[in-house]
Amino acid sequence: MTTAEIRKDMPTRPAAREADEGARLGLRLTLPAQLLVLFISVFPLLMQLYISLTDWSPLSGLGWPHAHEMWNGFANYVDVAGDGRLWSALGRTALVMAVCVPVEFLLGLALATLFADSFPGKRVFYSILIMPMMVVPAVAGYMFYMLFQSGGPVNDILSSLLGMPVTVAWLSDPMLAMLAVMVADIWQWTPLMFLILLAGLVGVPEDQMKAATLLGASPWQKFRTIVLPRMKTIIIIALAIRVIECFKIFDTLFIMTGGGPGVATETISVYIYKITTQDLIWGYVAAIALVILLVLSVACVWAMKRMARKGQPA
């Protein structure tokens, strides 16, 4: 190595050494927090896996550390595969997801497009629009429970519009009860979709939109060629969040219908709640939860990768 090369390399060595020392210091400072987060995340999953391989329940007379005395191998997972009520609950959950998520996305996108421009009273309407998202789900469930009563406001409005008495038993009919639950979910969570998509729209470069307008591009062409590619990641995140949340819908639905009439609105969360609190077969519940976690995680990752691949330019 020549003298010039040595002199050139000398200033970089202290900088590299300082960077390494900074990285080690950062690791030492954050290691306790990282270990705590790892413990909080991993320990419940390991315990759930352990319980899912047993017949343990709170009524067994044993503490959960001794659940291995009731070991049954993979019997609970075999029962999951043959549980018709479970698969029916998953089907109803998928129905809620298939209806609510697209409707919330389209409404949220339309509202985000509207609020991307300035207009009188925008702040007031913005505050009103996001209010449903701030309502506690249990309170929202009670609100819609009262709205859809036979003598409630929904039937009163329909009676006024049709000019004849309407006394539809919304929450007593299997199809109408599910429709009422979907309306409640759309009302409460469209604002979340709106906020996420509005954040994406605000990030679209305004100069590109103006240039496209000057070139004669239609609104659809501007959306397809400029807005959609820029918002691809935001859209995927918004859809993934709502798909996962649809599988966790519980508060609003349980207060409105309790999963009824019969099991007509029994989603997977309601079904798990019932067999946890009524049947107390916790080993089986743990197996169900792990299967759903695995399937939902794989499905979301696959869908997000597929959507990202389709959004890439050819």
Q: Where are the domains of the chain?
A: 89-279+292-310
Look at residue 264 and tell me whether its pLDDT is greater than 80: yes
- Going by C-alpha positions, the residue among 272, 305, 267 that lies closest to residue 89 is 267
CB-CB contact of 185 with 137 (8 Å): no
What is the value of pTM for the model shown?
0.80
Can you give the C-alpha Rg of the chain in angstroms?
Answer: 27
Residue-wise burial string across 210-246, b where 16 or more C-beta atoms lie within 10 A, e elsewhere: eebeeeebeeeebbeebbeeebbebbbebbbbbbeeb
CB-based burial label for 96 (10 Å; 0-12, 13-18, 19+) = buried
Instruction: Tell me which residue has tokens 């959950």.
Output: 93
Beta bridge partners of 71: 54
Q: Return the minimum-mean-pLDDT range out of 164-173, 203-212, 245-254.
A: 203-212
Find which of 10-14, 54-58, 262-266 is predicted with most confidence, using mean pLDDT. 262-266
- Going by C-alpha positions, the residue among 269, 250, 267 that lies closest to residue 141 is 250
Residues 6+ apart with CB under 8 A from 183: 144
- Output the pLDDT for position 314: 38
- pLDDT interval class at 94 (50, 70, 90): very high
End-to-end CA distance of the chain: 48
Beta bridge partners of 54: 71
Residue predicted with more confidence, 154 or 279: 154
- Output the pLDDT for position 15: 64
- Output the pLDDT for position 308: 63
Type and span of the H or E element at 207: helix 206-214
CB-CB contact of 55 with 72 (8 Å): yes
Please compute the mean of the pLDDT values over residues 85-108 and round it to a whole number: 93
Q: How far apart are CA 185 and CA 179, in angstroms?
A: 10
CB atoms within 10 A of CB 31: 10
**Nearest 5 degrees, angle CA 119-CA 231-CA 299?**
130
Residues 6+ apart with CB under 8 A from 27: none
Q: Classify domain 89-279+292-310 by CATH number.
A: 1.10.3720.10
Look at residue 142 and tell me whether its pLDDT is greater than 90: yes
Look at residue 92 and tell me whether its pLDDT is greater than 50: yes
CB-CB contact of 74 with 53 (8 Å): yes
Instruction: Tell me which residue has tokens 């997972």.
Output: 77
Q: How far apart are CA 256 and CA 144, in angstroms?
A: 7
Q: Return the minimum-mean-pLDDT range out of 49-58, 152-161, 176-185, 295-304.
A: 295-304
Q: How far apart are CA 24 and CA 240, in angstroms?
A: 35
Residues 6+ apart with CB under 8 A from 101: 239, 242, 243, 246
CB-CB contact of 248 with 189 (8 Å): no
Percentage of the chain with pLDDT > 90? 22
Look at residue 180 and tell me whether its pLDDT is greater than 90: yes
